[in-house]
Structure 1
Amino acid sequence: MVKLLVRDRETIQEAVRRFRKLVERSGIKKEMRRREFYEKPSETNRRARLRAERRNKRTRMLSR
């Protein structure tokens, strides 16, 4: 959970900007996007497999 204390002499715009950065860094936005729609376990596994294949392909290309 992200908590933000508004500092003395801090404008609302500055506080909102700091809040957005805190939310971004904590990964809440990413988590919300990921959970927005249900994803079948097979799709999750497929995505992980494809990510691993791409990673392996890159490492093979770099090691040549």
Structure 2
Amino acid sequence: MTKLTIGGNEAVESAISRFKREVVKVGIFNELRRIRHHETPVEKYKRKQGLRNKSRRHGHSR
């Protein structure tokens, strides 16, 4: 769940763009796309490969 705290003097446009960046960073759009649409074997392979690369970059091992 993504939460956004808006500062007193912050413009709405700025808050919306911060929210969009946070949603992309957390991966909500990718998860929605995966759930709503059929995933081809190639897409599934690329998604898993990306997760493997991401975990290697951040030093997580499985």
Superposed displacement of residue 37, structure 1: 2.5
RMSD of aligned alpha carbons? 2.7
CA distance in 2, matches of 1:15, 1:37: 29
1:9 match: 9
4+ residue segments displaced more than 6 Å: none
Quote the sequence identity (%): 31
* TM-score of the aligned structures, taking structure 2 as reference length: 0.60
- Which one has a larger percent helix, Structure 1 or Structure 2? 1
* TM-score of the aligned structures, taking structure 1 as reference length: 0.59
**Unaligned 5+ runs, structure 1:** 53-64
Q: Tell me the number of residue pairs that the alignment of Structure 1 and Structure 2 aligns.
A: 47
Superposed displacement of residue 38, structure 1: 4.7
- List per-residue Cα deviations over 1:3-27 (Å, max 9, x = no partner): 0010120000000000000000000
Tell which structure's C-alpha radius of gyration is larger: 1
CA distance in 1, matches of 2:10, 2:27: 25
